[in-house]
Structure 1
Amino acid sequence: MQARIALSVLIVLMGAGGAARAAERLDGEAIRKAFEGNTVAGRYAGTNRPFSEHHHPDGRATGHNRGVPNTDACWTTTADSVCYYYGPRETRRTYCFTVERSERLYILRRQPGGEINAMGTVAAGDTEGASAGAPAWSCDGLISAAPPSARLARR
Protein backbone atom coordinates (compact mmCIF):
# COMPACT_ATOMS: atom_id res chain seq x y z
CA MET A 1 0.00 0.00 0.00
CA GLN A 2 2.76 2.46 0.92
CA ALA A 3 4.50 1.73 -2.38
CA ARG A 4 1.33 2.77 -4.27
CA ILE A 5 1.09 5.93 -2.19
CA ALA A 6 4.75 6.78 -2.79
CA LEU A 7 4.30 6.21 -6.52
CA SER A 8 1.20 8.44 -6.55
CA VAL A 9 3.11 11.16 -4.71
CA LEU A 10 5.97 10.95 -7.20
CA ILE A 11 3.59 11.15 -10.17
CA VAL A 12 1.81 14.18 -8.69
CA LEU A 13 5.09 15.96 -7.98
CA MET A 14 6.55 15.23 -11.40
CA GLY A 15 3.37 16.41 -13.07
CA ALA A 16 3.60 19.64 -11.09
CA GLY A 17 6.48 20.91 -13.16
CA GLY A 18 9.67 18.94 -12.89
CA ALA A 19 11.57 16.33 -11.00
CA ALA A 20 10.49 15.53 -7.47
CA ARG A 21 12.68 16.85 -4.66
CA ALA A 22 13.42 14.94 -1.51
CA ALA A 23 10.98 15.54 1.32
CA GLU A 24 12.17 17.84 4.10
CA ARG A 25 11.37 16.75 7.66
CA LEU A 26 9.98 19.68 9.66
CA ASP A 27 10.70 20.37 13.31
CA GLY A 28 7.95 21.46 15.70
CA GLU A 29 8.52 25.17 15.12
CA ALA A 30 8.31 24.78 11.33
CA ILE A 31 5.15 22.67 11.69
CA ARG A 32 3.55 25.36 13.87
CA LYS A 33 4.45 28.09 11.37
CA ALA A 34 2.97 26.07 8.51
CA PHE A 35 -0.23 24.91 10.25
CA GLU A 36 -1.21 27.71 12.66
CA GLY A 37 -4.12 29.76 11.33
CA ASN A 38 -4.33 27.60 8.21
CA THR A 39 -6.27 24.62 6.88
CA VAL A 40 -4.60 21.25 6.45
CA ALA A 41 -6.62 19.04 4.10
CA GLY A 42 -5.93 15.74 2.40
CA ARG A 43 -6.57 12.03 2.55
CA TYR A 44 -5.69 9.19 4.92
CA ALA A 45 -3.26 6.66 3.47
CA GLY A 46 -5.08 3.50 4.53
CA THR A 47 -8.60 4.45 3.54
CA ASN A 48 -8.25 7.38 1.13
CA ARG A 49 -10.95 9.11 3.20
CA PRO A 50 -10.73 12.91 3.44
CA PHE A 51 -9.89 15.22 6.31
CA SER A 52 -9.82 19.00 6.56
CA GLU A 53 -8.91 20.88 9.73
CA HIS A 54 -8.46 24.57 10.37
CA HIS A 55 -5.68 24.95 12.99
CA HIS A 56 -6.62 27.81 15.31
CA PRO A 57 -3.87 29.69 17.18
CA ASP A 58 -5.65 28.79 20.46
CA GLY A 59 -5.12 25.06 19.82
CA ARG A 60 -8.56 24.11 18.46
CA ALA A 61 -8.86 22.18 15.19
CA THR A 62 -12.22 22.75 13.52
CA GLY A 63 -13.28 20.81 10.47
CA HIS A 64 -13.73 17.08 9.97
CA ASN A 65 -12.02 13.72 9.90
CA ARG A 66 -13.44 11.13 7.52
CA GLY A 67 -16.54 13.32 7.19
CA VAL A 68 -17.17 13.38 10.96
CA PRO A 69 -17.22 16.97 12.30
CA ASN A 70 -14.73 17.82 15.03
CA THR A 71 -16.43 18.71 18.31
CA ASP A 72 -13.43 18.73 20.64
CA ALA A 73 -10.27 18.41 18.51
CA CYS A 74 -7.11 20.14 19.70
CA TRP A 75 -3.61 20.36 18.28
CA THR A 76 -0.15 21.24 19.53
CA THR A 77 3.43 20.72 18.48
CA THR A 78 6.36 19.05 20.22
CA ALA A 79 10.04 19.41 19.32
CA ASP A 80 9.58 17.26 16.20
CA SER A 81 5.88 16.42 15.76
CA VAL A 82 2.31 17.64 15.58
CA CYS A 83 -0.10 16.02 18.03
CA TYR A 84 -3.89 15.97 18.01
CA TYR A 85 -6.07 15.03 20.93
CA TYR A 86 -9.76 14.38 21.23
CA GLY A 87 -12.06 13.98 24.20
CA PRO A 88 -12.01 14.86 27.89
CA ARG A 89 -9.00 14.01 30.08
CA GLU A 90 -10.60 10.79 31.33
CA THR A 91 -10.91 9.27 27.85
CA ARG A 92 -8.53 11.38 25.77
CA ARG A 93 -7.19 9.91 22.53
CA THR A 94 -3.86 11.30 21.29
CA TYR A 95 -2.24 10.95 17.86
CA CYS A 96 1.22 12.32 17.02
CA PHE A 97 2.90 12.60 13.64
CA THR A 98 6.17 13.73 12.17
CA VAL A 99 5.68 15.99 9.17
CA GLU A 100 7.61 16.02 5.93
CA ARG A 101 7.18 18.59 3.16
CA SER A 102 7.95 18.15 -0.51
CA GLU A 103 7.04 21.35 -2.30
CA ARG A 104 3.27 21.75 -1.59
CA LEU A 105 2.70 18.21 -0.30
CA TYR A 106 2.80 17.44 3.45
CA ILE A 107 3.29 13.84 4.58
CA LEU A 108 2.23 12.90 8.13
CA ARG A 109 3.91 9.81 9.58
CA ARG A 110 2.67 8.00 12.69
CA GLN A 111 4.63 8.33 15.90
CA PRO A 112 5.86 5.88 16.91
CA GLY A 113 6.36 3.68 13.90
CA GLY A 114 6.89 6.05 11.00
CA GLU A 115 4.18 4.67 8.70
CA ILE A 116 2.51 7.19 6.42
CA ASN A 117 -0.82 8.18 8.00
CA ALA A 118 -1.95 10.91 5.63
CA MET A 119 -0.92 13.29 2.87
CA GLY A 120 -2.29 16.75 2.24
CA THR A 121 -1.75 20.39 1.54
CA VAL A 122 -1.86 23.56 3.63
CA ALA A 123 -4.03 26.49 2.53
CA ALA A 124 -3.98 29.94 4.12
CA GLY A 125 -6.86 30.67 6.50
CA ASP A 126 -10.12 28.82 7.09
CA THR A 127 -10.67 27.88 3.45
CA GLU A 128 -13.74 25.70 4.08
CA GLY A 129 -15.40 27.87 6.72
CA ALA A 130 -14.94 25.17 9.38
CA SER A 131 -15.15 27.71 12.18
CA ALA A 132 -18.63 28.92 11.23
CA GLY A 133 -21.20 27.13 13.35
CA ALA A 134 -18.64 24.96 15.13
CA PRO A 135 -19.47 24.21 18.77
CA ALA A 136 -17.39 26.05 21.38
CA TRP A 137 -14.64 24.19 23.22
CA SER A 138 -11.28 25.03 24.72
CA CYS A 139 -7.97 23.19 24.65
CA ASP A 140 -5.84 22.65 27.73
CA GLY A 141 -2.69 21.88 25.73
CA LEU A 142 -1.98 18.74 27.72
CA ILE A 143 -1.40 15.83 25.36
CA SER A 144 -0.31 13.76 28.34
CA ALA A 145 -3.60 14.22 30.22
CA ALA A 146 -4.91 10.76 29.43
CA PRO A 147 -5.71 8.08 32.03
CA PRO A 148 -2.48 6.58 33.51
CA SER A 149 -3.06 3.23 31.81
CA ALA A 150 -3.77 4.76 28.40
CA ARG A 151 -1.20 4.80 25.64
CA LEU A 152 -1.06 6.90 22.54
CA ALA A 153 -3.91 5.86 20.29
CA ARG A 154 -3.20 4.31 16.92
CA ARG A 155 -5.27 4.65 13.82
Structure 2
Amino acid sequence: MYDIRKLVQEIDKEHYLNELEAKSKKSKKDIQQKMDKINKQIEVLKTRKKKFINMLADEKIKHDEYLEMVEDNNNELAQLVEKKNEMLSMLESEQVIDNIDKLKQELLQFLNFNELTPAILHHPINRIDVKEGGTRVINYRFAAPTFE
Protein backbone atom coordinates (compact mmCIF):
# COMPACT_ATOMS: atom_id res chain seq x y z
CA MET A 1 0.00 0.00 0.00
CA TYR A 2 2.88 2.33 0.81
CA ASP A 3 4.33 1.73 -2.70
CA ILE A 4 1.05 2.79 -4.30
CA ARG A 5 0.66 5.90 -2.15
CA LYS A 6 4.23 6.92 -2.96
CA LEU A 7 3.62 6.48 -6.71
CA VAL A 8 0.44 8.59 -6.57
CA GLN A 9 2.33 11.33 -4.73
CA GLU A 10 5.01 11.29 -7.44
CA ILE A 11 2.40 11.40 -10.20
CA ASP A 12 0.70 14.34 -8.47
CA LYS A 13 3.82 16.47 -8.56
CA GLU A 14 3.38 18.99 -11.34
CA HIS A 15 7.08 19.19 -12.15
CA TYR A 16 7.20 15.41 -12.45
CA LEU A 17 4.39 15.42 -15.00
CA ASN A 18 5.93 18.32 -16.91
CA GLU A 19 9.31 16.60 -17.03
CA LEU A 20 7.71 13.35 -18.09
CA GLU A 21 5.73 15.07 -20.85
CA ALA A 22 8.79 16.97 -22.11
CA LYS A 23 10.90 13.80 -22.24
CA SER A 24 8.14 11.90 -24.03
CA LYS A 25 7.69 14.66 -26.63
CA LYS A 26 11.45 14.89 -27.20
CA SER A 27 11.72 11.14 -27.56
CA LYS A 28 8.86 11.06 -30.07
CA LYS A 29 10.44 13.92 -32.03
CA ASP A 30 13.85 12.21 -32.08
CA ILE A 31 12.32 8.94 -33.24
CA GLN A 32 10.35 10.73 -35.96
CA GLN A 33 13.49 12.52 -37.20
CA LYS A 34 15.34 9.21 -37.38
CA MET A 35 12.39 7.68 -39.24
CA ASP A 36 12.43 10.55 -41.76
CA LYS A 37 16.16 10.05 -42.33
CA ILE A 38 15.69 6.30 -42.82
CA ASN A 39 12.83 6.92 -45.28
CA LYS A 40 15.07 9.24 -47.33
CA GLN A 41 17.85 6.65 -47.36
CA ILE A 42 15.38 3.98 -48.52
CA GLU A 43 14.26 6.21 -51.39
CA VAL A 44 17.91 6.83 -52.39
CA LEU A 45 18.52 3.07 -52.50
CA LYS A 46 15.42 2.46 -54.60
CA THR A 47 16.52 5.15 -57.05
CA ARG A 48 20.02 3.69 -57.14
CA LYS A 49 18.59 0.26 -57.98
CA LYS A 50 16.76 1.76 -60.98
CA LYS A 51 20.02 3.33 -62.13
CA PHE A 52 21.73 -0.06 -61.96
CA ILE A 53 19.08 -1.47 -64.30
CA ASN A 54 19.63 1.42 -66.73
CA MET A 55 23.41 0.93 -66.58
CA LEU A 56 22.95 -2.76 -67.40
CA ALA A 57 20.52 -1.96 -70.23
CA ASP A 58 22.95 0.60 -71.66
CA GLU A 59 25.73 -2.00 -71.37
CA LYS A 60 27.81 0.26 -69.10
CA ILE A 61 28.20 -2.63 -66.64
CA LYS A 62 28.31 -6.40 -67.00
CA HIS A 63 25.60 -8.68 -65.68
CA ASP A 64 27.76 -10.06 -62.84
CA GLU A 65 28.62 -6.48 -61.74
CA TYR A 66 24.92 -5.63 -61.82
CA LEU A 67 24.07 -8.63 -59.65
CA GLU A 68 26.76 -7.72 -57.12
CA MET A 69 25.62 -4.09 -56.89
CA VAL A 70 21.96 -5.08 -56.56
CA GLU A 71 22.79 -7.60 -53.82
CA ASP A 72 24.72 -4.95 -51.85
CA ASN A 73 21.88 -2.49 -52.38
CA ASN A 74 19.27 -5.04 -51.23
CA ASN A 75 21.29 -5.86 -48.10
CA GLU A 76 21.53 -2.18 -47.20
CA LEU A 77 17.83 -1.75 -47.91
CA ALA A 78 16.95 -4.70 -45.65
CA GLN A 79 18.99 -3.18 -42.80
CA LEU A 80 17.20 0.14 -43.19
CA VAL A 81 13.78 -1.52 -43.20
CA GLU A 82 14.74 -3.37 -40.01
CA LYS A 83 15.81 -0.08 -38.37
CA LYS A 84 12.57 1.53 -39.52
CA ASN A 85 10.54 -1.27 -37.92
CA GLU A 86 12.49 -0.83 -34.67
CA MET A 87 11.70 2.90 -34.75
CA LEU A 88 8.02 2.17 -35.31
CA SER A 89 8.03 -0.13 -32.28
CA MET A 90 9.73 2.53 -30.21
CA LEU A 91 7.21 5.12 -31.33
CA GLU A 92 4.35 2.84 -30.34
CA SER A 93 5.90 2.26 -26.93
CA GLU A 94 6.14 6.02 -26.31
CA GLN A 95 2.65 6.23 -24.86
CA VAL A 96 3.63 7.42 -21.35
CA ILE A 97 1.79 10.72 -21.52
CA ASP A 98 -1.26 9.15 -23.10
CA ASN A 99 -1.55 6.64 -20.26
CA ILE A 100 -0.36 8.64 -17.23
CA ASP A 101 -3.74 10.21 -16.45
CA LYS A 102 -5.48 6.82 -16.65
CA LEU A 103 -2.91 5.34 -14.26
CA LYS A 104 -3.35 8.24 -11.86
CA GLN A 105 -7.15 7.91 -11.82
CA GLU A 106 -6.95 4.16 -11.27
CA LEU A 107 -4.51 4.56 -8.40
CA LEU A 108 -6.55 7.33 -6.78
CA GLN A 109 -9.67 5.18 -7.05
CA PHE A 110 -7.76 2.35 -5.42
CA LEU A 111 -6.66 4.59 -2.53
CA ASN A 112 -10.10 6.14 -1.93
CA PHE A 113 -12.02 3.20 -0.57
CA ASN A 114 -14.14 2.75 2.56
CA GLU A 115 -13.97 -1.01 2.78
CA LEU A 116 -11.06 -3.20 1.70
CA THR A 117 -12.43 -5.96 -0.54
CA PRO A 118 -10.52 -8.79 -2.22
CA ALA A 119 -11.14 -7.14 -5.61
CA ILE A 120 -9.61 -3.85 -4.44
CA LEU A 121 -6.68 -5.66 -2.88
CA HIS A 122 -5.88 -7.87 -5.88
CA HIS A 123 -6.52 -5.43 -8.75
CA PRO A 124 -3.17 -3.55 -8.75
CA ILE A 125 -1.06 -6.64 -8.02
CA ASN A 126 0.25 -8.74 -10.88
CA ARG A 127 1.93 -11.38 -8.71
CA ILE A 128 3.76 -11.87 -5.43
CA ASP A 129 7.05 -13.76 -5.44
CA VAL A 130 8.30 -15.38 -2.25
CA LYS A 131 12.05 -15.87 -2.23
CA GLU A 132 14.07 -18.21 -0.07
CA GLY A 133 13.93 -17.07 3.52
CA GLY A 134 10.37 -15.75 3.12
CA THR A 135 11.20 -12.40 1.52
CA ARG A 136 8.22 -11.19 -0.52
CA VAL A 137 8.50 -9.16 -3.73
CA ILE A 138 5.28 -7.54 -4.95
CA ASN A 139 5.02 -7.07 -8.72
CA TYR A 140 2.40 -4.46 -9.58
CA ARG A 141 0.49 -4.13 -12.86
CA PHE A 142 2.07 -0.71 -13.27
CA ALA A 143 5.51 0.82 -12.89
CA ALA A 144 6.62 4.31 -12.08
CA PRO A 145 8.27 5.82 -15.17
CA THR A 146 11.99 6.35 -14.76
CA PHE A 147 14.11 9.13 -16.17
CA GLU A 148 17.40 8.47 -17.89
- What is the TM-score with the length of structure 1 in the denominator? 0.23
- Choose between structure 1 and 2: higher helix proportion: 2
- Choose between structure 1 and 2: higher strand proportion: 1
- What is the TM-score with the length of structure 2 in the denominator? 0.24
